[in-house]
Every structure is written in C-alpha cells, then in structure tokens.
Chains A and B, each alone.
Chain A
Amino acid sequence: MSGTQRTLTQNPLEKTWVPSLKTRLSQRRGSSVPQFTNSPTMIVMVGLPARGKTYISKKLTRYLNWIGVTTKGINLTPQGFTRDSACAIAALKDVCDYFTRGQGQVVVFDATNTTLERREVIRSFAKENGYKVCYFLGQVKLTSPDYADCDKEEAVADFLKRIDCYKLTYVPLDDDKDRNLSYIKIFNVGSRYLVNQVQDHIQSRIVYYLMNIHVTPRSIYLCRHGESELNLVGRIGGDSGLSTGGAKFASALGAYLRGQCISDLKVWTSHMKRTIQTAEALGVQYEQWKALNEIDAGVCEDMTYEEIQENYPEEFALRDQDKYRYRYPKGESYEDLVQRLEPVIMELERQENVLVICHQAVMRCLLAYFLDKSANELPYLKCPLHTVLKLTPVAYGCKVESVFLNIEAVNTHRDKPVNVDVDREPAEALETVPDHV
C-alpha cells in the first residue's frame, strides 16, 4: 500500500498545495509559475557602443523581470572613457553575488566586450561557476540616449573617439570558429536575426521577444472601461454594464481620440460587458481579448470590501500582506494575471498605435511592464476611472501623459492600510476603502 501518504497543506497566501513535510523535494521556490532555468544565465552584449545595445539590454531586463525571471542589468559603460579591465573583473564579482545570494536567474551584462581576451575572461568565469552564457550582438541603429543631455559637438567627438578605439580591437563573433557558442546576432534594425545554439527555454523566449520588438515611434493608450454599475456601489469583479457616467466617458473617449488624430489605431477590449460597451461608443473596429478580463476574485466576486472583511477577514488581511502574490480563493493573483497577460504584451510590442480598454488590476500589470515597476509597487499603481494614460516610448523608457476626461467617477483605489495583521480590527482593515453608494 501507499504507506505514508504525505499530506498537502495549502499555502494560505498563494493557495498553492505543498507537502507539509519539509524535505529536499518540497524546497521549491513556491511560485505559481514553473521555473525553467536551473543554471543561471549570463546574456553578454557584444559589439560597438551606441548601437542600441543599452536600449535592448534595458528592455530585455524589464521584460524578464516582469514575467518573473529575476534579472539584473550590469552596465559597464563608464562616464569617463577607459578600457580598463579592472572594471570588468569587479562586475563579474557582482554577477556571482547576484546569482548566489541574490537568487537571481539572469544577468544582462552590457559592456563593450569587444576584445577576444575579455570575452575569454567571461567565458571561463561562466564555465567555472556553471553559468550558461548567451552572447548577444545587437547592431540596432539608434540615436544613442547616452548623449541625450550632452553638448552635441562634444558628444559627437567623444563618440567618434570611442568608436575608433574599439574598432582597433573589435573582433566580431565568427560563424565558424564560434559555432558552439550560444549567440544571437541582430542586423539592420531588427529585420534579420542569426540565432546559434539556443540552449533552453529562457534563451528561446528571449529570441522570440527580440524578434517582436521594434523602434518605430508610436503611442499606446491605456484606460479602464467607463464607470460601471458595480463600481458605483463599491463592488469588485462581476460583469455589469456602464453607469450613466460611464456612458458619458465612452463618448468623451471617442472625442478625445478623434482629437489626437492617430493613424491606424487598433482598439482592444476584454470580453466583459463594460469594456465592450465603452468601445462600442467609439464607432470603430475593436478586438476582444479574453486575456484582458479583470482579475478573477473567486469567492469574493461581486462583493464590497466591507463584505469581504465580514466574510473572509483572514483573506482580506493576507491580501494586504502581499498583494502581488495573494490569490483569491478559487480566483487569481496579480502574479497569475501577469502570466495571462504576457501574450498581450508581446502583441503590444509588435503593434504600433493601440488603445487598450481594460480593468484596474489588468491596467496595473500592463503599466508596470511599461514603467518597469516592481512586484511590490504594481498592485498599488494608480489607475483611476475615466483617465487615459498615453505611453510613448522614449530613450530607454516610456513617457507617460495622464489625461482625465473630466467626467466624474467613483474612486476605486484602495491603499494598503497600516495594520495588515490577521487579528486587526475591522475598522483598521476598512480605513482605506474608497467611498461608494
């Protein structure tokens, strides 16, 4: 017979089932997402400076962190120009620390690793420590943000000096001699890729991501549906229609967009009535994505915060303790939401001008991706009703313009209360609940 059947206990925060015995097998990271990387990976950027390497490495770092792969960028372009390799050695120590103590999984090593000698240093360092290495040669032509704030002439002079110096020692990766290395070469502003020996899940995800991003100027508009019937009465979730205010917002949205004179705007909504009703008022084609549906609040669907406190006070407190990882009973967590939204992000990268009409939690996740917000900040990002956020990629990040369309709406933002203990008083739990009918 089965003998000792180990019992499973449910982690109260994430609602994941784990064996109650602490054995070697149960020492898992306790994440709701499977971990694919066993060995840490170093992505090493190779190539001449100011060719968009820093852009790519920052973007990649942002994407990987957002999908839950702890990634850190280690940048080696110092202010004053020096080819000193002591800098590189110090950086490698940082890498080691990050992988062992910091529990990191990926490091994006952005430096001008052009000399054969320096590449060899990195390669042997990785081999010694059992790290995987993937070289990345980005030759994306971009105006370098490095020089954004500098005097033009000075910048150009300095830049040319750097290029000249590096050219002398630059040895590109050789297709034949380096055929056993993992590397990705990008040519011609991303229209062509050469991918060699992609080893694992993370590397193939990275290649897929890189193939989908572009640098054509465009804007992404994020907003929530218009105020809904359930919003008015302070209830979460559900699938209600727009309130009168919400309907007014929908037409105001139409007017705003027409004013913006956007060429070829794509409009996306979720499958829920309130976003669809909002889009309908625009009188244009739109696409529905189930992945854009609001976070599933499970047993708490359609409840007010007061009701949640009354019926599930412990759940309510756990949520305040770790809002990102907290999963509603029979529902989802923000962490689950991010996984669900990854194809949306991938498609947003491919597209140009897009308006996404979604929901509060969903909008927070998308915003966190574009603005590089951590898992701790993400669930508290402010995404009020009737406000459009216009995101325009610039330099290494995103410019945000917030436009309130002047139609009154309830506030649905609940800040983290001071007391998050399970044994707190109801009043303490409810102190940050916004007003409603």
Chain B
Amino acid sequence: MSPLTCGVSLLSVPIGSELEQCPAEWAESSRGDLAMSTWASYMTNSPTVIVMIGLPARGKTYMSKKLTRYLNWIGVPTKVFNLGVYRREAVRAYKSYDFFRHDNQEAMKIRKQCALVALQDVKAYLTEEGGQIAVFDATNTTRERRDLIQDFVKENSFKVFFVESVCDDPEVIAANILEVKVSSPDYPERHRERVMDDFLKRIECYKVTYQPLDPDNYDKDLSFIKVINVGRRFLVNRVQDYIQSKIVYYLMNIHVHSHSIYLCRHGESNHNVEGRIGGDSELSPRGKQFAHALRSFIEEHQLSDLKVWTSQLRRTIQTAEELRAPYEQWKILNEIDAGVCEEMSYEMIQNTFPEEFALRDQDKYHYRYPGGESYQDLVQRLEPVIMELERQGNVLVVCHQAVMRCLLAYFLDKSAEDLPYMKCPLHTVLKLTPVAYVQTVQTFYGKMSRDSVLIHRRNSYTPLSSHDQVKRPRLYSAGNQPWLPLAPTPSALMPEGRQSCIGSESD
C-alpha cells in the first residue's frame, strides 16, 4: 500500500499493482525525507536563512514580517528572529543611543552574545522544529557579522540569502521612524521629538561601521537582493533556487504606498437561500439589495481609482454589475470546487457521503472533496491574486466564502488551522489597511445582515492564530476518491462536541 500525498517526493517504495487512496497512515520518515507540504515540494531539503542587512529604519522588519507572512501562507514554514527582541531581553532598560556606539565595548559584547543566542534559536527552528526558512532580522551591517553568520550557515549546511535595504531619502527614513519607532518598547514615553533625535543618532552609530554588500568584489559570490530606495531599484545576484526566486519576485511586487483592500462576498444567492453549496446560481432579491447597498458604500467612501475584481460565477458578477463600474473577472477567484458534493446541501452530503463529511471536519484545510478541491489547493490557486493585490492600489474583491477566508488569512496571518473557520458572513465588507507592521480591519455590515441566512456553520472557532509553524502530517491522499463506500468512521474519531449544522456555500 503506497500512501500518496500531494507534491511529495516518495522514496522508491515497491508496490503491488494496486494503488489505493487511503485517508490514513502517513509514514513518518526521517527529517530529511519529510517533504514540505507545499505544492512546490521540489524545493531542496536544505533550510534557508534569510539575512536582512541595512541601517535602522530601512524597512527591514517590515519586509521580514511581510515576507514571513507570505511564505507561511503559501505553505513554507517560516519564522522571523528579530535581534532587537533578544537585545531587549538582555538589556532590560534602554537608556540612549550610547548603547549603539561602536566604541562601547561592553555593549558590543552583549550585542554579539545576543546574535549568537539568536542563531542558536535559528538552528533549533530549522533542524528540530520543522522550520524551512528563518529570517534573521538585524542590521548585519558589518562584514565581520555577516562572516560570522556565513560560518554558522556552512557549519549547519543551510542555504543563505541576503536582503539588503539601502535608502538615502531622508523623508522616507523620517516617516519610518515616526510610524514604527516612536511606538517601540525602547521609547516608552513616546515623545516624538526625543525619539526622532535619539534614533537619528543611533543610525549615525551604525553608519560609522556600515559595509554595504559589494557585488563586484567581496560579495560577488553571495546570493542576495539589494532593495534600493523602497523598491525603485533592485540588484539581484545569484539566485540559487525556486524559493529565492519567489522571494525576489515578491519583494519586487510589494510597495509601501497607502492603499486599502476591500473584501466581500457576492450578495446572497438562490443557493444560499436553499442551503446548497457551490453551483452557479443567481442573486436572491436580498442579494440584489446588497449589491445596491455596496454601490452606495463605494460612492460614500469616494474611493479613487478603485479596481473591482470578481470571479467568473454569476453571483459575483451580478453583484459587481450593480456598481456601474468596470470590473475584471478572474476564474481563479471562483469558489472552492466541491466536486461530487456540488449543489448539495449539508444535509444531503451528510446523508449521501457521511464519511466524507466526517473527514472534512477532522482536517478542513487539507481535506479535498472527491473530484474537487481543498483549501490548500485554493491557496495555491489564489497566489497570483495575492501577488497582484500587492502590486495594486485600492481594490474591491467580490468573491466567495472559502476564497475570502484564504485571502483574509494571508492579510491577517492566520494559520492553516484557523483559516477554514474564519468568519466571512454575507453582506459584510472588510476593509484592510496596512498600518505599521499589521493590517487593520474595519468591518461594514450590510443593512440586511440581520435577516439574511446565517451562513457560517456553528463550529468550533479557534480565535488566536497558532504560532505553531510545524507542519502536521497529512491525513489525505491525493486526487479523487474511487467511488466506493467506506466503512463508517468509528465514533471515537469524531472530535468532541462537533456537530454538523445546516448552512450553505462550501463551508
């Protein structure tokens, strides 16, 4: 019996002539063989350390966090290691920029010690905790420090990729300081002018010993990207593999201009009313009202240059039509394909495919409908949408429940466990605006929300995103299930307190 899972390299396991699909027994193999549960599993087994380089207030932490969020979303376990956090652990009270003077020997000792501790944590994450990428977020401005890191990386057979942020625009730097440094734990009194003054002096300390990457000589064999003046220019050197090229592509597409992304579902559809999932039904009368309300909403908010995107299913298009504005249809925004369960109500699924129904509740993220898709497939499908949302300014995405959950999980950094249970009710618009390092969410409820059918299934909802980045073993095998009735799931396997409810839409 050969367990088959998506995108995994198998050892050559001799099998009989039968291939069986089995929702169980994932053979635990050694760390080196336990392939990444991503669709790009041909990524090498060597973990990668991404090393940020740059003077303070150059956007290193911003890029580190965003990149980490993106990589985790596409299924690559990634974690940021911010040296400032270690330093604040070691030196409880920050007094002034004097700590950062390059001739402050005692401070230098402490800072180097912090780096070593952080690197040990990196090692543990990548070798014992199932991490694939560690982002080392620190200034790393001297060759000495970078050589230290390279020795560490070589010792452990990791790959290394440098991301240097270079900026000489004083306005950008001042804006950065105001946005994130004023509220840093280093400055509890938050006195803007004092913070600005101290921080600028801190930067001067680093400038004394700053040795930027030298692509022509000293650093010509390193793999790196230099981001110059907030993405106006990039220098890319020696990209080694798939994940590095994705990182470069991502960094080239993000920008720092203020913009908002509006996410909502189509108006209530006829299938929603009947409690059926999937399909391609039209808007119900209430759904049409929502579309009309959406139009007023947009007009009220005077959104300049708003792009509108829909899927290619009727219900989103009908919603957008009401806006009387140009819109783009994306097939990849279509709702999750429920395969053989398309157009069924949850009751029908429970009656016709009880074991499928149970399996889905066990691992909703990885579960794939027979002949259909999983949330994991959906994430892969939606990646170009995310990339394009990063490039764009103000966008309104009119989509579907499962799709909206995936997009929202990207913006709000939700784990695979939380994603399929995120609340995305009908007739609600979520406005996402980046502030400092996070997304703020404003929720706008349509007037009809009290009356419309409650779509969200009453199921256990995990409120906090799990920080556990270790990938769990898969429960399900690839592809479509052969059309055979399976033995009923023993009740011992049903999660406690779980009850299936009637809802609609692929939940």
Contact = CB atoms under 8 A, between A and B. Distances in A.
Nearest to B18: A241
Contact of B326 (A25, A247, A284): A25
A34 B328 contact: yes
B394 interface: no
B301 interface: no
Contacts of B326: 25
Contacts of B280: 330
A217 B326 CA distance: 47
A212 B239 CA distance: 9
B377 A290 contact: yes
Contacts of B380: 290
A339 interface: yes
Contact of B331 (A196, A286, A336): A336
B126 interface: no
A216 interface: no
B322 A2 contact: yes
Interface string A181-203: 00000000001111111101100
A1 B292 contact: yes
Contacts of B322: 2, 5
Interface stretch (A93-101, A275-283, A400-408): A275-283
Given A2-B291, A6-B321, A271 B478 contact: yes
Contacts of B329: 16-17, 32, 34
Interface string B285-299: 000110110000000
B252 A287 contact: no
Nearest to B380: A290
A196 B232 contact: yes
Contacts of B440: none
Interface residues of B, number: 64
Contacts of B248: 208, 211
A288 B309 contact: no
A124 interface: no
A165 B14 CA distance: 64
Contacts of A290: 6-7, 39, 377, 380, 478
Given A197-B233, A290-B380, A347 B42 contact: yes
B19 A277 contact: yes
B19 A204 contact: no
A273 B237 contact: no
Nearest to B8: A288
Interface string B260-302: 0000000000000000000010000000110110000000000
Contacts of A339: 331-332
Contacts of A280: 2, 15, 19
Contact of A288 (B233, B289, B318, B478): B478
B6 to A, nearest CB: 6
A286 B42 contact: no
A207 interface: yes
| B contacts with A: majority SS | loop
Interface string A1-45: 110011010000001110100000100000011111000000000
Interface in B224-272: 232-239, 241-242, 245, 248-249, 252-253
Contacts of B328: 34-35
A6 B318 CA distance: 8
Contacts of B478: 271, 276, 288, 290
A425 B332 CA distance: 37
A287 B42 contact: yes
Nearest to A335: B331
A176 to B, nearest CB: 11
A193 B19 contact: no
B445 interface: no
A141 interface: no
Given A285-B12, A288-B478, A201 B388 contact: yes
B450 interface: no
Nearest to B291: A2
B314 interface: yes
A271 B479 contact: yes
B245 A211 contact: yes
Contacts of B12: 283-285
Contacts of B482: 239
A395 to B, nearest CB: 25
A36 B482 CA distance: 41
A8 B10 contact: no
B324 interface: yes
A390 interface: no
B242 A347 contact: yes
A429 interface: no
Contacts of B19: 241, 273, 276-277, 280
Interface string B372-391: 00000100100000001001
A289 interface: yes
A19 to B, nearest CB: 6
B215 interface: yes
Given A271-B6, A280-B2, A350-B242, A194 B234 contact: yes
B211 interface: no
Contacts of A192: 215, 235-238
Given A208-B245, A280-B2, A286-B10, A191 B238 contact: yes
A32 B241 CA distance: 31
A289 B245 contact: no
Contact of A285 (B6, B11, B291): B11
Interface string B318-336: 1001101110111110000
A370 B239 CA distance: 24
Contacts of A8: 314, 317-318, 321
B459 interface: no
A272 interface: yes
A268 to B, nearest CB: 8
A287 B242 CA distance: 15
A105 to B, nearest CB: 15
Contacts of A373: none
Contacts of B15: 280
A195 B233 contact: yes
Given A277-B19, A290-B377, A17 B249 contact: no
A32 B238 CA distance: 36
Contacts of B42: 266, 287, 347
A8 B283 CA distance: 11
Residue of B238, B331, B332, B391 with most chain A CB atoms under a 10 A cut-off: B331
A166 B318 CA distance: 58
B41 interface: yes
A30 B42 CA distance: 36
B308 to A, nearest CB: 11
Nearest to B233: A196
B46 to A, nearest CB: 16
Contacts of A273: 19, 479
Contacts of A194: 233-236
Contacts of B233: 179, 194-197
Given A195-B236, A285-B9, A288-B7, A207 B252 contact: yes
A311 B53 CA distance: 64
B235 A287 contact: no
A330 B328 CA distance: 20
A350 B245 contact: yes
Interface of B: 2, 4-12, 14-15, 17, 19, 39-42, 215, 232-239, 241-242, 245, 248-249, 252-253, 280, 288-289, 291-292, 309, 312-314, 317-318, 321-322, 324-326, 328-332, 342, 377, 380, 388, 391, 478-480, 482
15 contacts: A6-B321, A17-B313, A33-B331, A34-B328, A193-B235, A196-B232, A204-B249, A211-B245, A212-B245, A239-B479, A285-B11, A286-B9, A288-B7, A290-B39, A290-B377
Interface of A: 1-2, 5-6, 8, 15-17, 19, 25, 32-36, 179, 191-198, 200-201, 204, 207-208, 211-212, 239, 241, 247, 266, 271-273, 276-277, 280, 283-291, 330, 336, 339, 347, 350
Given A8-B317, A284-B12, 9 more contacts: A5-B321, A179-B232, A194-B235, A207-B252, A276-B478, A285-B9, A336-B331, A347-B40, A350-B245
